[in-house]
Amino acid sequence: MKTKSVSYCRVSSKEQEETGYSLPSQEKLMQEYADRKTFEVVKNFSVAESASGAKRRKTFTEMMVYLGKNKVDILLCEKVDRLTRNFKEAIVINDWLEENSNRQIHFVKQNLIIHKNAKSDERFRWDIEIVLAKKYIANLSEEVKKGQAEKIAQGWLPTKPPLGYKTTGDKGHKTIIVDNDVAQQIQEMFELYATGNYSTPRLAEEMYKRGLRQHSNKALPKSRIYFLLSYPFYYGMIPWNGKLYQGKHEALISKDLFDVVQNLLKRKQQNPHHTIHNQLLKSMAKCEHCGGLLSWELQKGNYYGHCSNVKAYRNCPAKTYMREDEAERQIIAFIEAIAPASKKMLSWIEDVIRSENRAQIEVRETGIKRFNGLLQKVREEKDSYYEATIKKEVPIEFCQKKIAECEKEEVVLVEELRKIQDTCDDYQQLGLLIHKLAYNAKEIYKKGTTEQKRLLFSQIITNFAQNRLELKPNWNLSGKYLYEWMPRLNKDYELEKTYTTKRQKSDFSLSHPIVLGR
């Protein structure tokens, strides 16, 4: 009758697999050895090179449990470093051997058999092999960290890039480029969340509809959505060991958009309860007196909003039930107040913005030249400290401190350079879009769905305040400008068109510099 045995096979790297150490070759070696020794291999445990540390430890634990539960006394393994590379697992194996003198571990390639009554020189070889395996892992870890640090210093992420990017190039010379199949969806994800109209679960559903998937073709879970929205890599930085480093990869979003998203991710929701209704002003209106979010309920075919009945807001003295259609009537009045009076008025505003932008381009070019010079100087200084570190001309601690200072300054300069490069075009586009949005807002509002209306609000309004039967918008910067200036511009433009000459019309544009996108 053959003695039962278990084999344990492990491959740690692709190089090992390519040079004859693949799992099938190890399994074949174990089986041939078992046949010579008249052992029966009842089960094989394998760990592939792609397995994580947690997966490897799980497989090891399962094997030890199986040996004890099924009373298998023979364990076959290729070499010591295939079985264990740390003292904790070595202790587990020693304890297993000490429990029964019939138990044995056969290291096939090393001609080594360890058991309870093994000779002292065999035990010594076992101990030495564990120490060497431990040292190998320590050296490997040190080399990996050095390689990662060098990759970071070159401006590249030393691990697999996130969704929206892919690696290209030969091994050892790989770089990260934009994955055009996914990049647009990542940009849309940030833009949608920045509107304030999406939670992470709802954003996950929306992005799935738009085609954003995991590699398994499943929807991204909300935890993954949250991670991606929080990942600085998308605006050009590399987060590593608690620090940020300037990357050489192409950014998919701006730092400003990233900051807006971070503020929204950290916001505290006063009304976390799930509701099945999707009201127009849901989570967007608060009572001006108690600060409670408005709750909406259906009464006799109409929705009514009032400050919440939860906790501190329950006994608000100003609690008033406002019909949703009355709230919408007031909203339409606000929209009409911020719109250019006519198509001709809108065209005039757009002409003024474009004209002013040409003058600002000259200022931008001067700024770009200045920041490029500062950036070059900082990078040359950083390189000099790296060189001093290699040549050991200056204490390493001092060089590391100076390198860190240069990297910090480099990040600031790169961001300022990016801002000034985008400034003129961004201001021009923003100015044009704001006025065009205001002109078309009423039509968008009347024809739009609830979601489209809420998206419109997010462009000009932070939230609303209810004062009994009055609704007041809290404008964002764009909305505040439109609300303060458009009524005056409309009035002045009509007067100018009626009573002044062409030369005086030019003076009118100069008297309203806010139109020019400054």
Q: Name the range with the highest mean pLDDT among 102-111, 290-299, 498-507.
A: 102-111
How would you class 159 by CB atoms within 10 Å of its CB: exposed for 0-12, middle for 13-18, buried for 19 or more?
exposed
Quote the CA–CA distance of 471 and 305 in Å, as a whole number: 11
How would you class 447 by CB atoms within 10 Å of its CB: exposed for 0-12, middle for 13-18, buried for 19 or more?
exposed
* Domain residue limits, the chain: 3-150, 165-265, 343-516
Q: Is the pLDDT of residue 302 over 80?
A: yes
Q: CA–CA distance from 21 to each of 12, 96, 113, 421, 460 (Å)?
A: 9, 27, 21, 54, 63
Quote the CA–CA distance of 321 and 303 in Å, as a whole number: 9
Q: What is the mean pLDDT of the chain?
A: 81
pLDDT tens-place string over residues 380-398: 888 888 888 777 777 888 8
What is the residue whose two structure tokens read 């009347």?
Answer: 446
Angle at 507 between CA 503 and CA 512, to 5 degrees: 150
Please, are residues 218 and 152 in contact by the beta-carbon 8 Å criterion? no
Q: Is residue 429 helix, strand or coil? A: helix
Q: Which residues of 364-389 are buried (b: 16+ CB within 10 A; e: fewer)?
A: beebeeebeeebeebbeebeebeebb
Tokens found for residue 58 = 């799980």
Q: Which amino acid is at 123?
A: R
pLDDT tens-place string over residues 312-370: 667 788 888 889 889 889 988 888 888 888 888 888 887 877 776 666 666 777 778 88
Q: Is the pLDDT of residue 159 over 70?
A: yes
Which of 55-64, 82-91, 250-259, 288-297 has the weakest average pLDDT?
82-91
pLDDT, position 509: 47
pLDDT tens-place string over residues 500-515: 544 554 444 444 544 4
Please, are residues 283 and 296 in contact by the beta-carbon 8 Å criterion? no
Show the 3-state SS of 15-55.
HHHHHHHCHHHHHHHHHHHHHHCCEEEEEEEEECCCCCHHH
Strand stretches in 112-171, DSSP E: 112-115, 165-168
| 411-432 mean pLDDT | 70
Does 12 qualify as catalytic in the annotation? yes
Q: What percent of the chain is modeled with pLDDT above 70?
A: 84
* Other CB atoms within 10 A of residue 138 CB: 11
Q: 3-150: what CATH class?
A: alpha beta
With a CB cutoff of 8 Å and minimum separation 6, the contacts of 451 are 197, 278
Set 12, 254, 283, 308: catalytic member: 12
Q: Which residue has the higher pLDDT, 489 or 261?
A: 261
**What is the band of 264 on the pLDDT scale with cuts at 50, 70, 90?**
confident
Ramachandran region, residue 164 (left: φ > 0; alpha: ψ -120 to 50; beta: rest): left
Please, are residues 248 and 236 in contact by the beta-carbon 8 Å criterion? no
How would you class 320 by CB atoms within 10 Å of its CB: exposed for 0-12, middle for 13-18, buried for 19 or more?
middle
Angle at 254 between CA 250 and CA 259, to 5 degrees: 135
Q: Is the pLDDT of residue 169 over 50?
A: yes
Q: Is residue 472 helix, strand or coil? A: strand
Domains 3-150 and 165-265 share a fold: no
**In terms of CATH architecture, what is 165-265?**
Alpha-Beta Complex (3.90)
Q: Which residue has the higher pLDDT, 423 or 353?
A: 353
Q: What percent of the chain is modeled with pLDDT above 90?
A: 18
pLDDT, position 106: 94
Radius of gyration of the chain (CA): 34
pLDDT tens-place string over residues 183-237: 999 999 998 888 777 888 889 988 998 889 887 788 899 999 999 999 999 999 9
* Short-list 498, 456, 497, 489, CA closest to 473: 456
* Short-list 406, 346, 418, CA closest to 376: 406
How would you class 317 by CB atoms within 10 Å of its CB: exposed for 0-12, middle for 13-18, buried for 19 or more?
exposed
Tokens found for residue 498 = 């009626």
Quote the CA–CA distance of 78 and 227 in Å, as a whole number: 41
pLDDT tens-place string over residues 54-91: 788 888 899 999 999 999 999 999 888 888 767 778 88
Quote the CA–CA distance of 77 and 440 in Å, as a whole number: 74
Q: CA–CA distance from 52 to each of 49, 57, 148, 355 (Å)?
A: 8, 9, 18, 60
What is the residue whose two structure tokens read 């730092």?
Answer: 255
